[in-house]
Structure 1
Amino acid sequence: MNKIHSSLIEVTLLPNSPLSLSLTSLNSMQKIQHRHVEVRGLKLHVAEIASGTKVVLFLHGFPEIWYTWRHQMIAVANAGYRAIAIDFRGYGLSDEPAEPEKATFNDLVEDIVSLLDSLGINKAFLIGKDFGAIPAYMVAAVHPERVSGVITLGVPFMLPGPSAIQNHLLPEGFYVSRWQEPGRAEADFGRFDVKTVIRNIYTLFSSSEVPVAAETQEIMDLFDLSAPLPPWLSEEDLSVYTSLYEKSGFRFALQVPYRTLNVDHGIADPKIKARSLLIMGEKDYVLKFPGMEEYIRSGVVKHFVPDLDIKFMPEGNHFVHEQLPEQVNELIITFLDKHSI
């Protein structure tokens, strides 16, 4: 096991610590295996538990990593599925490409398909959180034969392109706009250590309000130093995220998703044939993006994803799968069982 992973698991499994892993036994966490798989010239970090032909591939968002799926991986493995979570290229323990600034979402799509090929997997359920929803649906659009179903959390169907997020309808200090500006987030984040940046983002983005900085502020300035960690995120969890981002840094994360979000990938009039599920917390700040809640609640999203079920969780925030894992796991497993062959 990679040295970072060894220390990572040691930190996570401290006896008598207030772990957010309350739903997962220590033995189950220890059963998650870690390896690197060569994909398109890069070594991607793969976490995996259980085996068999029914496969679930988990795709993280930002500032997340494979570990964000710890509760879900063990739950679906216990339900009879092979659970795989990756660090995307440039994240965590996966290799970074030689020229990160040239990367786009297409790289993630091709990595996913190539990874399935490398692992000998014909089809998989794809579960994407935050920006991980985008490549999940892109794979379903371009390679429908490889997808058993799609579940997304926090972000509905959308494709990269000029209309992906209507930045111009939000104030200049909208976090996406700020992070798309070359050098700005680097300078903002660079004022702090990695642990502080991750703590700040997790805490800020757990709110129901869209993070928007004033003209004289940066996004990190929005953080209240007296604010505690969310109750579902322990100091041990934070240490795991920190160790992984200390390894990779934020260079690739700022390119994909943020600085490639407006790049059109030429998927014209997409129709997703895969059975799909969207899980949204009603207190998720993403619902306050211009037009987002109407897009979901009015059913317009079903123009692109006809076979879509939508579940709202009244108390859920943007990190609903970590915040309310039991409820999310039940929704996921019900969907998987219904649509497994």
Structure 2
Amino acid sequence: MEKIQHSHVEVRGLKLHVAQINVSGKKAVMFLHGFPEIWYTWRHQMIAAANAGYRAISIDFRGYGLSEQPAEPENATFKDLVDDVIGLLDSLGINKAFIVGKDFGSMPSYLVAAVHPERVIGVITLGVPFLIPGPSAIQNHLLPEGFYVTRWQDPGRAEADFGRFDVKTVIRNIYLLFSGSEVPIASEGQEIMDLYDPSTPLPPWFSEEVLSVYASLYEKSGFRFALRVPNR
């Protein structure tokens, strides 16, 4: 990972953390993380893209990881992330790029392409289909009452649930819960973190070392912005 270069780029009044490799590549690929993720999620793909000749870029969204927090995260929307991506492309001197998004990072990937098609060579997403942002994006009435999406949309509920544990434990619990074959659904009187089985080992692709990296960055940023975007 020593070839990856790190910097902060000021965009729309905030210093956003940017990781890059092969900055001389003629075409750029920008990777957008999900939750509970950070730029580090894409480290292997960055190296693969760079080895294929691309300028590989992975960012921490505003409010995540090593990027600065907005003054009023409660007012944030996906539009902020879209505008940040365009602002970063401008600041980095990149006219057009491939955009790769995972989990909720898929949403700004789609929206950048839809709103600014002249800035996008192509889009690759994982885990989330295209949805028009807004109240109708997720049909809550079709979801079980204890589904994590509806639980985390309730202001203060996830904060109280997460607040019972240290940051590293929260990250561990989420990865274990969402790495299984079934999506976690809480019963009445349960919270999502209550579904965690402490005897469950980490999956082979998510080591204690990797967990520590994620935890250290979420200890810095906290979950305040992360629970606003994408959940509310």
State the alpha-carbon separation in 1 of the partners of residues 63 and 144 from structure 2. 30
The answer on whether the counterparts of 2:168 and 2:212 sit within 8 Å (CA) in structure 1 is yes
Deviates more, 1:205-214 or 1:119-128: 205-214
Deviation track 1:307-329 (CA, whole Å, cap 9, x = no partner) reads: xxxxxxxxxxxxxxxxxxxxxxx
Gaps (5+ residues) in structure 1? 1-28, 260-341
Q: Check whether the contact 2:26–2:53 (CA below 8 A) recurs between aligned residues.
A: no
Residue 35 (structure 1) aligned with residue 28 (structure 2): no
> Is 1:160 paired with 2:133?
yes
Distance (Å, rounded) in 1 between the aligned partners of 2:184 and 2:90: 39
In the alignment, what sits opposite 2:213?
A: 240
After superposition, what is the alpha-carbon deviation per residue over 1:223-268, rounded to whole angstroms, capped at 9, x for unaligned? Answer: 1010000111110000000000000000000000000xxxxxxxxx
User: What letter corresponds to residue 105 of structure 2 in structure 1?
Assistant: G
Displacement, 1:30? 0.5
**Equivalence for 1:276:** none
Deviations 1:123-170 (A, max 9, x none): 000000000000000010000000000000111222312221222111
2:20 alignment partner, one of 32, 48, 65: 48
The two structures have a TM-score, normalised by structure 2, of: 0.98
AA aligned opposite 2:65: G
Question: Which residue number corresponds to residue 170 of structure 2?
Answer: 197
Return the letter of the residue paired with 1:49.
Answer: I
2:228 maps to: 255
Query: In 1, Cα distance between the equivalents of 2:91 and 2:132?
Result: 26
User: Map of 1:61-100 to 2, 5 A cutoff?
Assistant: 61-100=34-73
- 1:140 maps to a residue whose letter is A
Detail structure 1 runs of 4+ shifted over 3 Å in the superposition: none
Q: Partners in 2 of 1:160 and 1:213 — Cα distance?
A: 26
In 1: Cα distance, 2:231 partner to 2:7 partner: 28
SS at match of 2:2: helix
Within a 5 Å distance, the mapping from 1:292-303 to structure 2 comes to: none
1:211 match: 184
- 3-state DSSP class of the match of 2:182? coil
Aligned mates of 1:61, 1:105 — CA distance in 2 = 12
Share of identical aligned residues, percent?
Answer: 82
How far apart are residue 93 of structure 1 and its match? 0.4
Q: Secondary structure at the match of 1:131?
A: helix
In structure 2, what is the equivalent of residue 169 of structure 1? 142
Matches within 5 A, 1:89-168: 89-168=62-141
For the 8 Å contact 2:30–2:58, the answer to whether it is kept is yes
Q: TM-score, normalised by structure 1?
A: 0.67
> SS in structure 2 opposite 1:34?
strand
| Structure possessing the higher radius of gyration over alpha carbons | 1
Cα deviations by residue, 1:87-135 (Å, 9 ceiling, x for unpaired): 0000000001000000000000000001100011000000000000000
Question: In 2, are the aligned partners of 1:167 and 1:174 still within 8 Å (CA)?
Answer: no
Q: What's the secondary structure of 1:90's corresponding residue?
A: coil
Q: Which amino acid aligns with 2:9?
A: V
- What is the Cα deviation at residue 172 of structure 1? 1.1
The AA in structure 1 aligned to 2:20 is E
